[in-house]
C-alpha cells in the first residue's frame, strides 16, 4: 500500500466508529436491567453496552440511535452492529436495522525514518500546523479526502478518515511529503 515501492508500510486499523438506527424507541431502563455488560448513564441519557466477541462498545440512545466504537475493521463493525441489534431484538424491541454507516476510521502507521516537523510544516504551510505547546505532533488535514494525519517526530503517523480507502489514500498522499523532510541519517547511536 506504499508508493515508494521497496517496503510495504503496515497500516494498522485500530478503531472503527459506526452508527446505525433501530427505527424504534428503546427503553433504556429495560436494556440496563436485563442485559449483561451494560452501563446506564442517566445524566447523558444513554446506555453503554459492551460486546465481547467483536470487541465493541455501543452507546445506545432511547431514540434508537446507536454508535458502535472499538471495532478493528469495517466488516467487524457491521457484524458487531448486527449482533447488537439482534440482542436488542431478543430483549423485546421491534428493531429494524437501518442506516448503517461507518463514520470514522483510525489507523496507525510507522515510517522507517524520523521526520523533521518544523521543515515539514514550513513546506506545507496552510495545510499543516504544528504547535509544540499544545500537541507534540504536526497535524496535516487533507480536504479532498476529508482525512487528518498527525505526524510525530519519530516517524509514526496517526490517520483518521471516513473510511478505510481514504485512510490508505491519505498515507500514500503524505508519504512523499514526509520523505522530503526526512531526518538525515544520524552518525551516532
Partner 1 sequence: MTSRVCRTCGGSDIDVDQARGSAVCTGCGSVLEDNIIVSEVQFVEGSGGVSSTVGQFVSADGPVKAPILGSGFHISVGKESRAQTLQSGKRQIQQLGSQLQLNQHCLDTAFNFFKLVVSKHLTRGRKMEHVIAACLYLVCRTEGTPHMLLDLSDLLQVNVYILGKTFLLLARELCINAPAIDPCLYIPRFAHMLEFGMKTHEVSMTALRLVQRMKRDWMHTGRRPSGLCGAALLVAARMHKFRRSVKDVISVVKVCQTTLRKRLTEFEDTPTSQLTIDEFMKVDLEQECDPPSFTAGQHKAKMQQLEQELARKLDEVEGEISCFKDEIETELEKSRPKLRGVYAAYTKEIGWYSSEEVLSSTSDPEETEETEMQATTQHLTQDFLCQVIQEEEGQGKTADEGFCDQETEPETLGTTTRPQVTPLSVILGKLPSAARLGLQESFHTFAGSETGVKPDSDGELDLKDIDDQEIEKYILNEKEVEVKTELWMKQNAEYLKEQKEKEERINKEKEQGTYKEKKKKYKKREQIEASTAGEAIEKMLEKKKISSKINYDVLRDLNGVTGSPSTTTSDPPEGNATRKRLSRRRRKTSEVNPDLSVETAVTMATKPTTTEAAAAPTPDAIPDTGSTPPAAPPPAEEEEEEEELEEECVSALQLVGGQSRLLF
Identify the residue among 97, 160, 169, 174 touching partner 1 (CB under 8 A). 97
Rounded (5°) CA angle 179-183-184: 105
Identify the residue among 25, 90, 94, 146 touching partner 1 (CB under 8 A). 90
Stretch that binds partner 1, among 11-19, 50-58, 59-67, 158-166 (CB under 8 A): 50-58
Beta bridge partners of 41: 46
In this structure, the number of other CB atoms found within 10 A of the CB of residue 25 comes to 12
Q: How far is CA 125 from CA 91, 129, 130, 137, in A?
A: 54, 7, 10, 15
Task: Give the number of C-alpha atoms closer than 13 A to the C-alpha of residue 108, restricted to the C-beta side.
Answer: 6
CA 91, 19, 61, 94 torsion: positive or negative? negative
Q: Please, what is the minimum distance in Å from the beta carbon of residue 90 to partner 1?
A: 6
Q: Please, what is the minimum distance in Å from the beta carbon of residue 60 to partner 1?
A: 13
Rounded (5°) CA angle 124-129-131: 140
89 binds partner 1 (CB under 8 A): yes
23 binds partner 1 (CB under 8 A): yes
Binding to partner 1, residues 135-154 (CB under 8 A)? 136-137, 152-154
Query: Given the rule CB under 8 A, which residues bind partner 1?
Result: 23, 32-37, 40, 42, 51-53, 75, 78-79, 82-83, 85-87, 89-91, 95-98, 114, 116-118, 121-122, 125-126, 129-134, 136-137, 152-155, 183-184, 186-189
Amino acid at each position: 500500500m506504499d508508493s515508494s515501492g521497496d517496503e510495504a508500510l503496515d497500516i494498522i486499523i485500530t478503531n472503527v466508529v459506526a452508527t446505525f438506527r433501530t427505527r424504534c424507541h428503546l427503553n433504556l431502563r429495560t436494556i440496563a436491567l436485563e442485559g449483561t455488560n451494560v452501563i446506564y448513564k442517566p445524566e447523558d441519557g444513554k446506555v453503554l453496552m459492551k460486546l465481547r466477541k467483536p470487541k465493541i462498545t455501543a452507546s445506545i440512545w432511547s431514540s434508537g440511535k446507536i454508535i458502535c466504537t472499538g471495532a478493528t475493521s469495517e466488516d467487524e463493525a457491521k457484524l458487531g452492529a448486527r449482533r447488537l441489534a439482534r440482542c436488542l431484538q431478543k430483549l423485546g424491541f421491534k428493531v429494524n436495522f437501518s442506516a448503517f454507516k461507518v463514520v470514522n476510521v483510525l489507523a496507525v502507521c510507522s515510517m522507517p525514518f524520523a521526520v523533521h516537523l518544523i521543515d515539514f510544516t514550513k513546506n506545507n504551510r496552510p495545510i499543516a500546523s504544528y504547535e509544540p505547546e499544545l500537541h507534540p505532533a504536526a497535524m496535516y488535514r487533507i480536504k479532498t479526502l476529508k482525512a487528518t494525519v498527525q505526524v510525530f517526530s519519530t516517524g509514526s503517523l496517526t490517520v483518521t478518515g471516513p473510511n478505510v480507502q481514504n485512510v490508505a489514500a491519505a498515507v500514500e498522499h503524505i508519504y512523499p511529503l514526509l520523505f522530503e523532510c526526512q531526518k538525515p541519517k544520524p552518525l551516532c547511536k
